[in-house]
């Protein structure tokens, strides 16, 4: 059985804005009061027209004008205040969802679809904001209008009102049934939109590969199939709504015909005057919009409920890497790193690292060598707690990394990745990534160390030059040197280098290598080695095989030994 409406989950987000919502509801009440007054005025005008009272009609018209002005003022207050509250609620929800996503572990993002997350943070949150707005801006006012106007109709003639409402239960059942089916179709439609968004993100990110393999036709076919599934899902929902409105409209028309029939009968029996019947008809006319809007809103609320479910699904996902409530701030470290009997697997039954032991001394440069899948990248990813081992300990200066705050840990570990990631913004902002306020002189000094200052200075705007999405305006070597400058500015005592010089030309490679040598000075460095120069420069080389360190020593020692490293060196580097 389905639990209560998903909208109850939004209550905590409404509470901070209760004053604005209360003010909007006060305006709504004021706005609602005028509906029976308008119906009464219609009856009075009809009566005066029949009597030919021109002066009285003019006076009543003046009163009506004042009523419409006051009604317009409170309507503006209702609409403006509710829009303000709804947008603020959507902003709070979007911020909290984004904050929660930032707390999730890398493993979640490696399996989730970027397009789907983007859709939830944009379209789904916007839909929720629109629903909240309509609840207070339209739905509640319409319900109040129905109650007040129906009360006035009962006051005029309760027998006629009772007879008019014969079809109301049937309409309610039909609207409810349509709404539940629409919720099913909407969930399916939103899932298709997310799939389509994910496909677009994937293709545009890999457009170079699409061009290289002349796969444009293949991708157009994939897109067409996904777009067709999206169309079918949306059409199912729209077709259902198309069926609903004629059915409900027919019932409304039958109600009006019944009303005239019974009204004539009531007038003939003397239970109702002509002016009262005009007023009654005006009241019925005032019910048409609220009923139509309520029906439409109910459909939108069911569609919005699917968005609420999709958003709060994200809150159910918990990070795999958790910072303990009493975690301490990691003090400035010397750079001693120790792995003690570490076991780790992305799935527990398939370990990547097996009882791994490692001790790196302060200022030591360690190169990690091994075949693909040996566990090199996994080993270094455990140090900043991108993942936690299933067993064993990782210590920095004798302190377990799981006992310190993630921020204080990661601020002391610099990473220069194999694929440099730059964000839209200026060059200076990318070098000082993660800092709201930064010293431009310090940024420039870091760039000099990274051999980046010269090419940055050649841009018209220098350090204020716009990088472009993913650094599209820069060459590979330039992006890599900005990544090195970023690490220099952080000034970490521990450094992780995943060398990315293999795709660079010889001049860029020489500049990057020189920058790396400066960066590595007096730091504990872990290098996933791809180049001969890096291997020779390391103080110690560790050979990994099936998640274990099988050899350790300097380049010369391991070559002389003539075992795994010597064979690997011959295969990979010679």
**Torsion 467-470-476-481 (CA) sign:** positive
Q: Give me the CATH code for the 8-316 domain, please.
A: 1.20.1560.10
pLDDT band at 394 (very low <50, low <70, confident <90, very high): very high
Contact 118, 194 (CB under 8 A): no
In tens, the pLDDT along 217-261 reads: 777 887 788 888 878 877 777 777 777 767 766 776 677 677 777
Give the mean pLDDT of the chain: 80
In tens, the pLDDT along 508-566 reads: 667 777 777 777 888 899 988 766 666 777 889 999 988 899 999 988 888 888 888 88
Give the model's pLDDT for residue 1.
39
| Fold classification of 337-572 (topology level) | Rossmann fold (3.40.50)
Give me the mean pLDDT over the 47-75 stretch.
72
Give the model's pLDDT for residue 61.
73
**Number of other CB atoms surrounding residue 128 within 10 Å:** 25
Give the model's pLDDT for residue 25.
85
Burial of 166 (0-12, 13-18, 19+ CB in 10 A): exposed
Asked whether residue 50 carries a pLDDT value surpassing 70, the answer given is: no
Give the model's pLDDT for residue 526.
93
Give the model's pLDDT for residue 64.
73
**Number of other CB atoms surrounding residue 26 within 10 Å:** 14
State percent of the chain over pLDDT 70: 82
Asked whether residue 477 carries a pLDDT value surpassing 90, the answer given is: no
Asked whether residue 2 carries a pLDDT value surpassing 50, the answer given is: no
Beta strands, E only, 53-152: none
Give me the mean pLDDT over the 110-119 stretch.
79
Asked whether residue 448 carries a pLDDT value surpassing 80, the answer given is: yes
Contact 129, 84 (CB under 8 A): no
> Length of the chain, please?
574
What CA–CA distance (Å, rounded) separates 65 from 43? 16
In tens, the pLDDT along 158-217 reads: 777 776 666 555 665 666 666 667 667 777 777 777 777 777 777 776 666 666 666 777
Annotate 207-274 with DSSP letters as a single string: HHHHHHTT-HHHHHHHHHHHHHHHHHHHHHHHHHHHHHHHHHHHHHHHHHHHHHHHHHHHHHTTSS-H
pLDDT band at 399 (very low <50, low <70, confident <90, very high): very high
pLDDT band at 324 (very low <50, low <70, confident <90, very high): confident
Asked whether residue 472 carries a pLDDT value surpassing 80, the answer given is: no
What CA–CA distance (Å, rounded) separates 394 from 383? 7
Contact 366, 359 (CB under 8 A): no
Annotate 516-571 with DSSP letters as a single string: HHHHHTTSEEEEE--SHHHHHH-SEEEEEETTEEEEEE-HHHHHHHTSHHHHHHHH
Which residues 6+ apart lie within 8 Å of 17 measured at CB? Answer: 85, 88, 89
DSSP state of 120: I
What CA–CA distance (Å, rounded) separates 34 from 122? 38
What CA–CA distance (Å, rounded) separates 435 from 360? 30
Give the model's pLDDT for residue 132.
85
Give the model's pLDDT for residue 392.
93
3-state secondary structure of 162: helix
Which of 152-166, 361-375, 404-418 is least confident? 152-166
Query: Whose CA is closest to 17, among 79, 89, 78?
Result: 89
In tens, the pLDDT along 292-319 reads: 677 767 777 877 888 888 888 888 888 8
What CA–CA distance (Å, rounded) separates 304 from 187? 9
pLDDT band at 38 (very low <50, low <70, confident <90, very high): low
In tens, the pLDDT along 376-391 reads: 889 999 999 999 999 9
Domain ranges in the chain are: 8-316, 337-572
**96 token code pair:** 């909290």
């Amino acid at each position: 059985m389905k639990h209560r409406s998903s909208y109850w989950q939004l209550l905590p987000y409404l509470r901070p804005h209760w004053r604005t919502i209360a003010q909007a509801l006060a305006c709504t009440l004021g706005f609602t009061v005028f509906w029976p007054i308008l119906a009464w005025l219609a009856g009075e005008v009809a009566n005066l027209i029949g009597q030919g009272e021109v002066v009285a009609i003019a006076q009543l018209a003046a009163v009506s004008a004042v009523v419409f002005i006051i009604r317009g003022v409170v309507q503006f207050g209702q609409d403006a205040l509710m829009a303000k509250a709804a947008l603020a609620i959507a902003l709070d929800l979007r911020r909290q969802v984004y904050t929660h996503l930032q707390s999730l572990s890398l493993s979640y993002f490696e399996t989730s679809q970027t397009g789907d997350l983007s859709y939830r943070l944009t379209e789904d949150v916007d839909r929720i904001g629109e629903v909240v707005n309509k609840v207070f801006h339209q739905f509640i006012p319409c319900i109040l209008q129905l109650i007040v106007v129906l009360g006035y109709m009962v006051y005029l003639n309760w027998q006629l009102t009772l007879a008019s409402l014969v079809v109301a239960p049937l309409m309610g059942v039909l609207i409810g049934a349509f709404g539940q089916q629409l919720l099913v179709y909407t969930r399916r439609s939103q899932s298709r939109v997310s799939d389509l968004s994910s496909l677009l993100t994937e293709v545009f990110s890999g457009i170079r590969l699409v061009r290289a393999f002349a796969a444009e036709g293949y991708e157009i076919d994939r897109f067409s199939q996904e777009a067709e599934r999206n169309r079918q899902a949306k059409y199912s929902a729209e077709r259902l709504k198309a069926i609903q409105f004629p059915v409900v409209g027919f019932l409304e028309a039958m109600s009006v015909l019944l009303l005239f029939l019974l009204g004539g009968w009531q007038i003939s029996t003397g239970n109702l005057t002509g002016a009262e019947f005009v007023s009654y008809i005006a009241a019925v006319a005032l019910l048409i919009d609220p009923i139509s809007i309520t029906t439409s809103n109910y459909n939108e609320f069911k569609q919005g409920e699917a968005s609420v479910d999709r958003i709060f699904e994200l809150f159910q996902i918990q990070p795999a890497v958790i910072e303990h409530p009493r975690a301490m701030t990691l003090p400035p470290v010397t750079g001693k790193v120790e792995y003690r009997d570490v076991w780790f697997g992305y799935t527990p039954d398939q370990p990547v690292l097996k009882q791994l032991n490692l001790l790196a001394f302060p200022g030591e440069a360690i190169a990690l060598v091994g075949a693909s899948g040996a566990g090199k990248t996994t080993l270094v990813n455990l140090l900043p707690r991108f993942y936690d081992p299933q067993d064993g300990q990782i210590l920095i200066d004798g302190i377990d990394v799981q006992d310190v705050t993630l921020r204080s840990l990661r601020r002391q570990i610099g990473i220069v990745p194999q694929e440099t990631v730059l964000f839209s913004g200026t060059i200076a902002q990318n070098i000082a990534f993660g800092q709201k306020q930064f010293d431009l002189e310090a940024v420039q000094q870091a760039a000099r160390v990274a051999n980046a200052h010269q090419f940055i200075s050649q841009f018209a705007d220098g350090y204020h030059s716009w990088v472009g999405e993913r650094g599209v305006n820069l060459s590979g070597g330039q992006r890599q040197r900005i990544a090195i400058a970023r690490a220099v500015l952080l000034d970490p005592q521990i450094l992780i280098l995943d060398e990315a010089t293999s795709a660079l030309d010889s001049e860029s490679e020489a500049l990057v290598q020189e920058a790396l040598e400066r960066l590595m000075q007096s730091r504990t460095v872990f290098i996933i080695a791809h180049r001969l120069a890096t291997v020779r420069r390391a103080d110690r080389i560790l050979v990994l095989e099936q998640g274990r360190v099988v050899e350790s020593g300097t380049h010369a020692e391991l070559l002389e030994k003539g075992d795994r490293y010597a064979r690997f060196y011959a295969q990979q580097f010679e």
